[in-house]
Amino acid sequence: MGRQNLLAERRKSQSYFIIVEYQDRIGGRLHNVKFGKKKDGSPYTVEAGANWAKKYKLQALATDYDNKTTYDKTGKNDFSKIIANAQAAMEKVVTHAGSLLKNNIQDKTVRAALRFMGWNPAANNAHAQFADWFGSDFESSFTPEENSAVFSSVADNATFKHFSDDNLFVYDQRGYSKLPLLFFRVSLLTIATFSLGVLQRDVVQFYPPFPSWKKSAISSFEIGTYTKIFLQFDKAFWPNSQYLMYADPHERGYYPLFQPLDLPGALQGSGILVGTVVGKQARRVEAQTNQETQEEIMKVLRTMFGESIPDPTDIWYPRWNQEPWAYGSYSNWPPSTSLQAHQNLRANVGRLSFAGEATSQEFYGYLHGALFEGRAVGQMLATCINDPVQCTDKNGQPRYPVLTGVTPYDLYNEKNGWFVSTMA
């Protein structure tokens, strides 16, 4: 809620609240930093975290996935048809996954679903491996083998069909965190908005300890690492394409994507280029120095654009996996989990409730998932405060202490190829 609504609610209820924040700012992974220099010597504002928006009139560049130039070890090389084939297969997976969900059919990995749809790239095909990375890793920060086909499709469908097909890359110099702040009114109640990474690291101690169903839920989901690397050059040496794509001949996801901000309608004249790495590549990059990363990137860029391009005047990137208040970028729903398992992640434990992007069923991994979950929990607790009878744990959010499998034990028999006992 906005500040005026916050004050009105406080006056009405005379309830008090305390916000405990690790940092000297509100926003968490919604975070902008000062980077580089304008012609007048002042810095630009760039988004270290969430970078795509659907509303709020922020200055943003409409993403055009067709506005791309592709490169490989030979330099400029058009393999856009391969990317289109991968995207077509992924669209089929999204439709297929909706059918699996609606008809209560077993989930599978995104890789299995892509293979079923005829997309099965060879490990030594650099172009196909880039297309595979762009269709999966770039969106979720996880490989197709690590992603749930059903629930990764749910997040995609819910976001783009509920809001808009457009993806807007924010470059607003006020910063994304200029959005209205949402506060929660609590009384003898607590909302924990720790990232999933923080909860999994056990860096916050809870007393009494969580029950086993809550511990299991926290350990069952994943948090990825998505790292944007900001570089500034004296001037742009790249074409006016939104996506500069590189297919490395040896390593999947090795500095595969660069997005210029020095474009007409964006930060034209800034000389800023944003590289993206995810997953194990992001963790590797975060563990090394800026100079080491710059040297690696420049080898790639000189493969793409020639040996004569200059070194950058500045480089900066966040280290999400090392931040003690984050330990990752955003959450992911892996295979072999369920709605009930995720509900256990969401569910309150006594007077302690949970909110954040990781607890969102449809919008996990997205900023608006955190917004909706915070609002839902805030409304739930507001009702609880106004009617103390509703404040018992019995009347809290649903939880499922026992998560059953899909196959009854009596089906593990010889007719089904199960010939020996496997019980310890």
Return per-residue pLDDT of the chain as tens, 424 residues: 333 333 333 433 445 566 777 667 666 667 788 888 898 999 898 887 665 444 444 455 667 888 999 999 999 999 999 999 999 999 999 989 888 888 999 999 999 999 999 999 999 999 999 999 999 999 899 999 999 999 887 766 555 455 555 555 444 444 444 444 434 343 468 889 999 999 999 888 888 999 999 999 999 999 999 999 999 999 999 999 999 999 999 999 999 999 999 988 888 999 999 999 999 999 999 999 999 999 999 999 999 999 999 999 999 999 999 999 899 999 999 998 899 999 999 999 988 999 999 999 888 888 888 889 989 988 888 888 888 776 666 667 899 999 988 888 899 999 999 988 887 7
What is the model's pLDDT at position 175?
44
> What's the pLDDT score for residue 27?
65
**What pLDDT score was predicted for residue 336?**
84
96 within 8 A of 51, measured Cβ to Cβ = no
The answer to whether residues 163 and 54 touch, using CB atoms and an 8 Å cutoff, is: yes
- The amino acid at residue 417 is G
Measured CA angle at 157 (ends 117, 374), to 5 deg: 140
> Can you spell out the DSSP letters for 68-109?
EEEEETTEE---HHHHHHHHHHHHHHHHHHHHHHHTTPPP-B
Beta strand residue intervals within 211-270, DSSP E: 222-224, 226-232, 243-246, 257-260
Residue 38 CB: number of other CB atoms within 10 A? 12
Do 129 and 111 contact (CB within 8 A), yes or no?
no
How far, in Å, are 15, 36, 301, 362 from residue 295 at the CA level?
55, 18, 10, 40
Residue 380's pLDDT is 86
Tokens coding 132: 């595979």
Note the pTM of the prediction, 2 decimals: 0.84
Residue 148: phi, psi to the nearest 5?
-75, 125
Task: For Cα atoms 75, 77, 81, give the angle at the middle one, nearest 5 degrees.
Answer: 155
